[in-house]
Amino acid sequence: MTLQFVESSQLPTQFGVFAIHGFDDRANNKEHIALSMGDLSGDEPVLMRVHSECLTGDALFSQRCDCGSQLQTAMERIAAEGRGVILYLRQEGRGIGLLNKIKAYNLQDAGHDTVEANEKLGFGADMRDYSICQPMLEHLQISKVKLMTNNPRKVKAISDHGVEVVERVPLQSGCNPHNAKYLATKAGKLGHLFD
């Protein structure tokens, strides 16, 4: 792993002041960040979200997915608890990249679901790699987490990379008429857990 910590600074947000930590992933030529709040030291599990970049949802407020809403809810929960971390990974479109994601959107507009669209473009349903999380958490001295996710595969991936997931915390937000099929596909084909 060729991950290098670069720098930390303060990041005032509408939810409170987070610390922002920059990491350079030289193996993949990507830059990742961690947003943290509060004292992360000690043996108490840290509330955490592992969030893969979603430009359309996080920055452009797309309602095709629940990504932006999940990020906002995670930041709100961490601010309310006063302690936690978000690992923001540069893995747009479940790992296929922004331009391929737009191609996948076009296929979805033609009737394919999100998994079928990725596969039609020659990709797997989910190409994300969570191995980068372990060295980021090691730098932040975090070994136990309460993971905010609906994805049991993410829980397994984080655990498989040496981080103790003591609890899966459901993170359901942003459901709307534009993403109902998308969420149903995440549950039916990708195993996401929704109430």
Active site residues: 126, 128
- Write out the H or E segment, with its range, that includes residue 156: helix 152-160
C-beta separation of 67 from 31 below 8 A: no
* CA atoms of 64 and 56, how far apart (whole Å): 9
Give the three-class secondary structure for 91.
coil
Q: How far apart are CA 91 and CA 52, in angstroms?
A: 5
151: closest CA among 132, 174, 128, 180?
128
| Rounded-to-integer distance, Cα 118 and Cα 113, Å | 9
Cβ-based neighbours of 119, under 8 Å, separated by 6 or more:
125
